[in-house]
Amino acid sequence: MQLDEYFGKTRGVGVLSTADASGRVNAAIYGRPHFMDDGTIAFIMADRLTHANLQSNPSAVFLFKEEGSYKGKRLYLTKAREEKDSPLISEIRRHRSKDPEGQNNTESKFLVYFRVDEVLPLTSGGA
Distance of CA 55 to the CA centre of its chain: 16
Question: How many Cα neighbours within 13 Å face the side chain of 52?
Answer: 11
Q: What is the CATH topology of the domain spanning 3-121?
A: Pnp Oxidase; Chain A (2.30.110)
Which pLDDT tens digit goes with each residue over 49-72? Answer: 999 999 999 999 999 999 999 999
What confidence tens digit (pLDDT) does each residue in 76-87 have? 999 999 999 999
In the chain, where the domains are located: 3-121
pLDDT on residue 101: 46
Q: What is the pTM of this model?
A: 0.87
Q: Mind giving me the DSSP string for 10-41?
A: --EEEEEEEE-TT--EEEEEE-PPEEPTTS-E
